[in-house]
Copies of this chain bind each other. A is one copy, B any other.
Amino acid sequence: MKLEAIFNPRSIAVIGASRKEGSIGFMVVKGLLDSQFQGEIFPVNPNADEILGLKCYKTATEIPGEVDLAVLTVPAAVALQAVEDAGKKGVKVVAVITSGFGEVGRKDLEEELVRIANNYHMRVVGPNIVGILNNPAKANASFGPYLPYPGPIALVSQSGALLIALDGMTWINKIGISHMISIGNMADLDFADFIDALNEDPNTTCISLYIEGVKDGRKFLESARRSRKPIVALKAGVSQRGELATASHTGSLAGSSKVYTAAFEQYGIVPARSLDELFIRSIALSMMKPLMGDHVAVITNGGGAGVLATDAAERHGIPLSDPPEDLKELFRKWMPDFGSPRNPVDMTGMADRPWYQGCLLDALNHPWTDGAAILYCETSITDPQNIAEGLYESYIQAGAVKPIVVSFIGGERCLKAGEWLKSKGIPTYFDPDDALSALSALRQYGKCLERKEVQFQPHSVNKERVQEILSKVKLEGRTALMEYEAAEIFKAYGLSLAPSILARNEEEALKAAEDLGYPVVLKISSPDILHKTEAKGVKVNLKTPDEVQGAFKEIIQNARNYKADARIVGVLVQKMAAPGGTEVIFGAIRDPQFKQVVMFGLGGIFVEVLKDVTFRVAPVTVEEAKKMALEIQASSILKGVRGQGPRDLDSLADSLSRLSQLVVDFPEIKELDANPVMLYQSGLLVVDARILL
């Protein structure tokens, strides 16, 4: 098992243990004692013989037995020596509570600390953490007051203060936690390491993350993809100002929230927007199997609650649909005449346990149903505990496979019955909106699983040709490719380009236009002119040899005027793209956290003014690329409007997927654009290609 020393420690040393009440070194020792840790506890302090009844050691090296985990609470000034000692002792993991490292600009100190530890094959949690709270091992190795409410959710948090504050909250809201892990500056162990390790922890069924910024985006995503347990993450710093605030707070770059959102969806991380939502979703994900389809039955005793749930379902992306007639027929057994067997299934205020129990069982047993949300408005004539038991019974009887969520709207009796349901593993909430948000998380996790089955299949491409062109460009010391070079590269990766020929003089230009067929476009080709339009180096829609000749002269002259010493390779003669195409844009950028990222958008004002674009971490499968096309706001334009037929989404997705492969295969490509790309009812043509190294 990975990181066994953290998840199943046999002994814990507290380096910097103290007799001073209120000091961190004191609180950690007391925390371990109070939580009734069953392994050995070794306080380390050169100036004490005994702390809270435990024998104290001068240095870690003096400890007699083996030490799995050491918690470091000494000042930063002596932390390196303490780590050295722990290493010598053979400690397996050291959790560094001590602050004063990267978060205050001393990244050097932090790196030195990790270097020392790794010398001894010792792993580091932190520094700058509140510690580790381990419920199964009953080890509160932190300066938090007590262990959280026990259960199967592991919370890994980049903010220590928040972690400690949430500790108490878990008891109020009965949110069951296996581990609370503060990872601070992540100098060594990071989110990815804990995702991997928690996958092997038998006490955890859901991994919940509070993220301000990840350090190695790819490593993080790969661990998420590997995960066989659901991951739900609250990414803080998604607002414009929030990105600034996070940066100042943790020293790690927050990254564009648009890219985070895309990466989460792509690699199977369920998002949460707030602390409440993080726990609402964690509870459901920790208890239920994923929702593997969109057929959700909403069962209620109140029309009002039903309408609210219907609104919430749509808001959370799982809109309700009508059940089939035979299922409606079954539902009718569990309601008076004025009830409704449609969705929401309104059993009316008369519904008591038998109706709830029968209705849920019928719903779950029917092949149409993928999952259910059960709502109950407290009434004087019914007992929520009784109804809770009925629901539980039906859930078990139906095999406990299809997920359910419950909303109990009411007072003390509902609260108690809801807590009972949660103790039985049924996610229960007050607000129908919360229940539907939870169900939506289960659906998103279901989609993650479906997505994981589709692996990226490399396209057959001509990698050598690209290598050749790039080598030449590098040799010449250039970072910007000329259009015909970029076009060659695109072609080598199987994209359709508007046919073009590089002409070095007027005669060649005329011949090229003849060969390509009129009308044509002429563009200046010079390694020294990046902005062709700005240099007046582009002439479009040239219909005759005369026009081509005139344009050639003009372009060369304009180029000279624009930059007298520009090396002019020639003029690119390109066949005009046929009319009737829709302008789209493919792009790739290098994200500071997730590296190669591809972008898709519609051309013109859609990108420039409305910023209606979508991102994915490269490479993207063809399926994923198609999702990109369909998720922009103006996607309906691609489906055909104003008498135009639908656009060729297959070609679009294939090309975008190929481009994503290109930037992964050649990480030296810093930026890439195909803008515009003319997308037709059948096929597409890249009209302008741009690549920067």
Which residues of A are at the interface with B, using a C-beta cutoff of 8 A? 22, 27, 104, 143-145, 157-159, 161-162, 164-172, 210, 212, 234, 236-242, 245-246, 248-250, 273-276, 301-308, 310-315, 319-320, 338, 340, 342, 344, 346, 349, 377-381, 409-415, 430-434, 605, 608-610, 633-634, 636-637, 641-642
Q: Tell whether, in the assembled complex, residue B431 and residue A274 are in contact, meaning their CB atoms are under 8 Å apart.
A: yes
- Contact, CB under 8 Å: B164 / A377: yes
Question: By the criterion CB–CB under 8 Å, are A308 and B414 in contact?
Answer: no
Q: Are A304 and B236 in contact (CB under 8 A)?
A: yes
21 contacts between A and B (CB under 8 A): A22-B381, A144-B380, A157-B304, A159-B302, A161-B379, A162-B377, A162-B409, A165-B410, A169-B409, A236-B308, A245-B306, A245-B310, A246-B307, A274-B432, A274-B434, A275-B409, A275-B430, A605-B637, A609-B634, A610-B633, A610-B634
Contact between chains at A172 and B610 (CB < 8 Å): no
- Report the Cα distance A346→B312, complex, angstroms: 35
**Whole-angstrom CA separation of A340 from B411 in the bound complex:** 42
One of B144, B246, B273, B338 near A433 (C-beta < 8 A) = B273
Residues of B within 8 A of A170 (CB): 411
A239 and B311 form a contact (CB under 8 A): yes
Question: Which residue of chain B is the closest to A349 with respect to CB atoms?
Answer: B161
Complex CA distance for A273 and B240, rounded to whole angstroms: 24
CA distance A641 to B412 in the complex (A): 58
A433 to B275 alpha-carbon distance, docked (Å)? 8
- Could you say which residues of chain B place their CB within 8 Å of the CB of A349? 161
- A303–B242 Cα gap in the complex (Å)? 11
Chain B residues with CB under 8 Å of A634's CB are 605, 609-610
Decide if A315 touches B161 in the complex (CB within 8 Å).
Answer: no
Give the distance in Å from the alpha carbon of A104 to the alpha carbon of B144 in the complex: 58
Q: Given the known A-B contacts A159-B302, A274-B433, are A320 and B381 also in contact in the complex, defined by CB atoms under 8 Å? A: no
Interchain CB contact under 8 A, B168 and A237 = no
How many copies the complex holds: the figure is 2
A165-B409, A170-B411, A276-B431 provided; 6 other pairs, C-beta below 8 A? A161-B377, A162-B304, A169-B414, A172-B415, A273-B311, A608-B641
Chain B positions within 8 Å of A381 at CB level: 22
- Report the bound CA distance from A642 to B301 in whole Å: 56
- In the docked arrangement, what's the CA distance between A302 and B249, Å? 10
- Across the interface, which residues of B come within 8 angstroms of A169, CB to CB? 409-411, 414, 430
| Cα–Cα, bound, A579→B380 (Å) | 70
- Residues of chain B contacted by A145 (CB below 8 angstroms): 380
Which of B248, B413, B642 contacts A608 (CB under 8 A)?
B642
> Is there an interface contact between B236 and A307, defined as CB atoms closer than 8 Å?
yes
A62 to B31, CA, bound (A): 73
The 10 closest A-B pairs by CB, nearest first: A168-B411, A159-B304, A161-B302, A239-B314, A274-B433, A249-B303, A165-B377, A165-B409, A162-B304, A242-B310
Q: A161-B304, A410-B165, A430-B276 are known contacts. Are A344 and B245 too (CB-CB below 8 A)?
A: yes
Q: Is the CB of A241 within 8 A of B314?
A: yes
Q: CB-CB < 8 A to A143: which residues of B?
A: 380
| Chain B: minimal CB distance from A105 (Å) | 10
Residue of chain B at shortest CB distance from A637: B609
Give the residue of B165, B249, B412, B434 whose beta carbon is less than 8 angstroms from that of A306.
Answer: B249
CA distance A378 to B313 in the complex (A): 34
Cross-interface CB contact of A636 among B22, B311, B609, cutoff 8 Å: B609
**Inter-subunit contact A171/B605 (CB<8 Å):** no
Evaluate contact between B433 and A276: CB separation under 8 angstroms.
Answer: yes
Cβ contact within 8 Å between A413 and B168: yes
Q: How far is the CA of A497 from the CA of B304 in the complex (A)?
A: 49
A413 cross-chain contacts in B, Cβ below 8 A:
168
CB distance from A431 to the nearest CB of B (A): 5
Q: Given A161-B304, A311-B237, A314-B240, check contact A168 B378 (CB 8 Å).
A: yes
Distance between A185 CB and nearest chain B CB, rounded to angstroms: 13
